[in-house]
Amino acid sequence: MTRHTLLPAFIVACALLLWGHGPLQAQVEWSEERIEEVEDVIRDDPDRIWLVRLLNGDILTGPLLAVERDDRGVAVRLGAAIGRAKIYLAEMVSIETQDNAYRHRHRTFIMPTAEPIGDDHFLGLWEIAFLYGGVGIADVVSVTAGRTFVPGISAAEQASHVNVKATVYSAPNGIVESGKQFYAVGTTATWLGANNVLGHAYVVATFTGPRTQVSTMFFSKIYGEDFYTITGGTLFNPFNLTYPTGTMGVGLSLDSRLPTFHDVRIVGELWNNDLTRPSNTALYLGVRTATGAVAMDFGLTLFSAPAVVPFVAFAWTPL
């Protein structure tokens, strides 16, 4: 195994281990301050839905009715479908509001949504070769960056990408109950090798519902040459790319949880990087499985060439 493949292989192995041993994560512990916070939430918003992951792998959802203490420790009363369940913190992997249980709303597959990363951060691996990570600053700024590690391509020919996004407005959307709307602006810098630099600016809007969020993005190339030569070491022959500054594009995305599964979602994206060329369009459709910390994406991308490319991605967001 070469040095180019050691890091991606290590990340994949870690992701699989985290996925397979999710129920063995640390038990939930609450300080007195946290207990008071939860009791305040129960009092102020008694209908809020919570999601509880148990050590045995089961998932329960429902409103929290009370926080209790006895000789066994701290427990909660959950108004679950099975009835009023008493669950001790020592039996849980995690407990959080359903809104916060899914922590990948800031992105679809590769397309950013208008939602912020918030106080989270993540590390991901796209296509077993693109190491990618991100961090949120308050509920406004989201910064993500990544770089490829493709065997057979020199360091000077690898691709890198940086994205800085600011969520500038959020409010109820007035369309569906509990739905929200978010608006963001951002800029990206992409290196297709050391000598090929592209800059973009974009605006994106996201509308959310109980299970689904949809996003629309408009973007424009604002920096870089109009003509590029892409080299790939021993992996592929050099080829030319024409992409003029000022080119406008659009992206649409969908992220929807299946109604009978808490951790399985359908994810789709539709891209066109040049509105004057309908042939510059790609469609991604895949399935995402997401527990509290780990998300895995599996899907296919259809290009107008025509060509079909399988895609896989892993993301880890520490609890």
Q: Which of 261, 256, 251 is nearest to 291 (CA)?
A: 261
Range list for CATH 2.30.30.100 in the chain: 31-98
pLDDT (0 to 100) of residue 315 = 94
Range list for CATH 2.40.160.40 in the chain: 102-316
The structure's pTM equals 0.81
Which pLDDT tens digit goes with each residue over 216-226?
A: 999 999 999 99
Kindly report the average pLDDT of the chain as a whole number.
86
pLDDT at 66 over 50: yes
Task: Give the range among 17-31, 122-136, 234-248 with minimum mean pLDDT.
Answer: 17-31
The number of beta carbons lying within 10 Å of the beta carbon of residue 258 is 12
Q: Which CATH number fits domain 102-316: 3.30.428.10, 3.30.1490.190, 2.40.160.40, 2.40.50.1020?
A: 2.40.160.40
Edge-to-edge strand ranges of the sheet holding 83-88:
83-88, 73-80, 59-70, 49-54, 92-97
Q: Which CATH number fits domain 31-98: 3.40.50.720, 2.30.30.100, 1.20.120.140, 3.90.10.10?
A: 2.30.30.100
SS3 20: helix
122 phi and psi, to 5 degrees? -150, 160
SS (H, E, C) 257-317: ECCCCCCEEEEEEEEECCCCCCCCEEEEEEEEEECCCEEEEEEEEEECCCEEEEEEEEEEC
Tell me the CA distances in angstroms from 2 to 6, 152, 154, 156, 318, one per residue in order: 6, 9, 12, 17, 29
First to last CA, the chain: 32
Which pLDDT tens digit goes with each residue over 86-119?
A: 888 888 888 888 777 788 999 999 899 999 999 8
Sequence-distant (6+) residues with CB within 8 A of 103 are 120, 122, 292, 317
